[in-house]
A = this chain, B = another copy of it.
Amino acid sequence: MRCDLIAYTPEPELTVAAAARLCYAAIGAQQLQERMERPDVERLIRRLSDSGHWSPFEHASFTFAVEGVSRSLTHQLVRHRIASYSQQSQRYVSEKNFAFIIPPTIAEVPGALAEFERVMAETTAAYERLSAMGIPREDARYVLPNACETKIVITMNAHGLLNFFAHRTCQRAQWEIRDLALKMLTLVKTVAPLLFEKAGPSCETEGVCREGSHGCGRLV
């Protein structure tokens, strides 16, 4: 898996702080663009996150390019609706010799790995044979596995990301999307540490587990 932060709102923390300031102070648009001192930005953003006032966080957007992930992952990912996606199309792009993602539980068991690789080879061959018979890509792809590698560009704002991280960095999240979430979190923390100071599963951020009887037991 590779995940790059390819674009984001410049000075994301300052942008969020400026928007929040407008809500609560009798200032104008001009002052809004004046420099805020770092301690003021910090105090303001911490006040927002302490009071769960996340809407100003939406003014900062982050765009990621992701590759080396499975279509299992992206099918889950795109269920997050407050986000924008552009994904490599299996209708238009050929999947000859497609790459595939191997789950760690399979990689660790030699017999399972051999079985897995055998099926991938079979599937690759079948996709090519169907293509050679004139079956269009959009139909030949029906034989392609969930493991098939895909690429996707994701844009989420900081509010959406916090929600995404709350669900997908949880120990109970599926391993591949959790890996992605942790990588995305590392990247955004580098450029906007304050905005993501409280990012993570709810056991860490609120001391509450929402997995019920399926929880990992960490909070017991």
Q: Would you give the shortest CB distance from A184 to chain B, in whole angstroms?
A: 13
Check B103–A22 contact: CB distance below 8 A. Answer: no
Q: Would you give the shortest CB distance from A62 to chain B, in whole angstroms?
A: 10
Count of residues in A whose CB is under 8 Å from the partner chain: 103
Check B2–A29 contact: CB distance below 8 A. Answer: yes
Question: Is A4 part of the contact surface with B, judged by Cβ < 8 Å?
Answer: yes
Check B126–A23 contact: CB distance below 8 A. Answer: no
Name the prevailing secondary structure of the A interface residues: mixed
Q: Write out the residue numbers on chain B whose beta carbons fall within 8 Å of the beta carbon of A51.
A: 210-214
Q: Write out the residue numbers on chain B whose beta carbons fall within 8 Å of the beta carbon of A23.
A: 86-89, 92
Check B211–A93 contact: CB distance below 8 A. Answer: no
Question: Is A186 part of the contact surface with B, judged by Cβ < 8 Å?
Answer: no
Number of copies of this protein chain within its complex: 4
Best-buried of A51, A74, A109 by chain B (most CB within 10 Å): A51
Residue on B with the closest CB to A61?
B61
Q: Would you give the shortest CB distance from A107 to chain B, in whole angstroms?
A: 10
Q: Would you give the shortest CB distance from A70 to chain B, in whole angstroms?
A: 6
Expressed in whole angstroms, the Cα–Cα distance for A55 and B133 within the complex equals: 33
Q: Write out the residue numbers on chain B whose beta carbons fall within 8 Å of the beta carbon of A204.
A: none
Check B93–A61 contact: CB distance below 8 A. Answer: no
Q: Write out the residue numbers on chain B whose beta carbons fall within 8 Å of the beta carbon of A111.
A: 133
Q: Would you give the shortest CB distance from A106 to chain B, in whole angstroms?
A: 6
Question: Is A171 part of the contact surface with B, judged by Cβ < 8 Å?
Answer: no
Check A157–B84 contact: CB distance below 8 A. Answer: yes
List 18 additional contacts besides A24-B92, A59-B153, A116-B143; criterion CB under 8 Å.
A6-B29, A7-B10, A7-B15, A8-B9, A10-B10, A18-B153, A19-B153, A23-B88, A23-B92, A25-B93, A26-B93, A51-B211, A56-B153, A72-B141, A105-B136, A112-B133, A115-B130, A119-B123
